[in-house]
Amino acid sequence: MRLENWETVDGNSLKQIRNQDISQADKNIGAPFCAIHRNDLSQDLLALARLSDTTVDGEKRSIDLVLDAKVVHVDAEKGIVSLADGSSQEVDLIVAADGVHSALRQFVVDPAVDMSADTGLSAFRFLMPNAVLQQSAAAQRLLAQKANGVSLYVDTVNADEERHITWYACRG
């Protein structure tokens, strides 16, 4: 879904602090701002990967997709993925879409870099259908004032605690 703007809203008063037009991002930076639900993205990537043949630089190549396999080692420079069953795969591309605690991170980030530092911050993600929001009078007021794009609701009273909500539509 293409996003048209990025607004910042005072999370206490619900008054808009700033609204930035990002509708021309494709012209200004070469690509539009878009949002997609992560499951939709995963399904779209899987569908593309399952295409029987792909053309790369005019050459037809088939794609062998390996699912439900445990990766035990990766040599990212050589493009070799070793699996728990003892097999190895020579690959052109590795997509590590396994989240913040990626099993592949150790193979592409210097192990001496401590990535485990506790920031004291937490993030919670959830989906809420608009139909559910429309059942609440307060939520209806929010929907009526919400711009088409990303809305960042910030706590301006306790700014040191960095509490905020990011709200955007990710499906039609």
> Quick one: how far is CA 103 from the chain centroid?
17
Task: Assess whether 125 carries a catalytic annotation.
Answer: yes
Which residue out of 2, 38, 50, 125 is catalytically annotated? 125
- DSSP characters for the chain? -B--EEEEEETTT--EEEEEE-TTHHHHHSS--B---HHHHHHHHHHHHT-SEEEETTEEEE-----S--EEEEETTTTEEEETTS-EEE-S-----S-TT-TTHHHHS-TTS------S---------HHHHTTSHHHHHHHHH--SEEEEEE-SSSGGG--EEEE-----
Catalytic residues, which ones? 125
